[in-house]
Amino acid sequence: MSSPTLGDRRAAVVIEDDLDIRNLVCAVLEQGGFVVSGATTGREGVDVVRRQHPMVVTLDIGLPDIDGYEVLRRIRNTTDCYVIVLSGHSDEMDILTALQAGADDYVLKPFRPRELRARIDAMLRRPRIGQDAQHPPVQPADPAASTPSDDGEAAPVGSANVLRNGGITVDGDARIASCAGVELPLTKTEFNLLWELMRSNGAVRTKEELVRVSRGGDYRGYNFVSRTDERAIEVHVANLRQKLARFDGGPDLITTVRGVGFRIMPRNRD
């Protein structure tokens, strides 16, 4: 197994104490073009991530030294890399805790290698803020999408792909969302959900639709949407609401339609 070099944007780190699973995950990543490093403990994994600056990290929750959720928090303090939690714990609270701690995805063991590869590929098609120099920005599904103007009426989106609603501005090219001029610290999933809800111009988006948005528009290999996937969307929307409220964007910007999904109604600029 090779060690990634600093600045290698195709580097990956596998934090897993089970040798067989670690070798399997490393093989999946190497087949995807990554240079992979492995770690058997949480502390070792955090150290490798800090030194190697990988693009992707897979993380086992049941590590022998420190709690996997703590490992995830430490990783999130130093990097915005993609993190996939691989765990044998199917309890809903474990899944939600991982997502709230900053995981991008949660895959149950035993997993199918093709599914893991598909999930990784889907994540890489959605670059994070700050990675635009390495990856092209995500474009909206409909180039003719409209953006609410200051008076609440729909106005054509220019080449900049900027959506506005009240005091919220979302730039699809730069992948930056701001409230009253202050940039919102959104994860890539939160940004994608906010963009999709705003570009829907008041239409309700179902949880199943938003799950597919979070996976990527051309996601292949695993199309089933489970109740856990839908609960994960609820958590991402709740986190998004909290951030909007923190920056005076209003927690009520995103409306829940019971039994269906979510929507954002066009509103005037305050």
29 and 37 in contact (C-beta within 8 Å)? no
Top-confidence residue, 154 or 99: 99
Out of 55-59, 97-101, 103-107, 123-127, the most confident range is 55-59
Top-confidence residue, 237 or 142: 237
Alpha helices in 66-173 (DSSP H): 68-76, 92-101, 113-124
Cα 33 from chain centroid? 21
- 152 Rama sector, left if φ>0, alpha if ψ -120 to 50, beta otherwise: left
Percentage of residues in the chain with pLDDT exceeding 90? 30
Task: Give the integer Cα–Cα distance in Å for 248 and 230.
Answer: 27
Q: Is the pLDDT at 228 greater than 60, yes or no?
A: yes
Alpha helices in 141-247 (DSSP H): 188-199, 207-215, 227-246
Q: Point out which residues pair with 154 in neighbouring strands.
A: 148
DSSP H or E run through 127: none
Task: Give the integer Cα–Cα distance in Å for 14 and 6.
Answer: 16
Q: Is the pLDDT at 118 greater than 80, yes or no?
A: yes
Task: Give the integer Cα–Cα distance in Å for 163 and 172.
Answer: 8
Mean pLDDT, rounded, of the chain: 79
Per-domain residue ranges of the chain: 11-124, 146-263
Top-confidence residue, 258 or 269: 258
- Domain 11-124 matching CATH 3.40.640.10: the answer reads no
Q: Is the pLDDT at 259 greater than 90, yes or no?
A: no
Give the CA-trace dihedral at 24, 60, 99, 213, to 10 degrees. Answer: 0
Q: For domain 146-263, which CATH number applies: 3.30.70.100, 3.30.160.100, 1.10.10.970, 1.10.10.10?
A: 1.10.10.10
Sheet with 162-165, strands from edge to edge, namely: 162-165, 168-171, 176-179, 182-183
The per-residue pLDDT for 131 is 45
The per-residue pLDDT for 121 is 86
Read off the pLDDT band of 18 (50, 70, 90).
Answer: very high
How do residues 177-225 score in pLDDT, each as one tens digit? 998 888 888 888 889 899 999 989 889 999 888 888 887 654 444 566 7
Task: Give the integer Cα–Cα distance in Å for 233 and 238.
Answer: 8
The per-residue pLDDT for 150 is 34
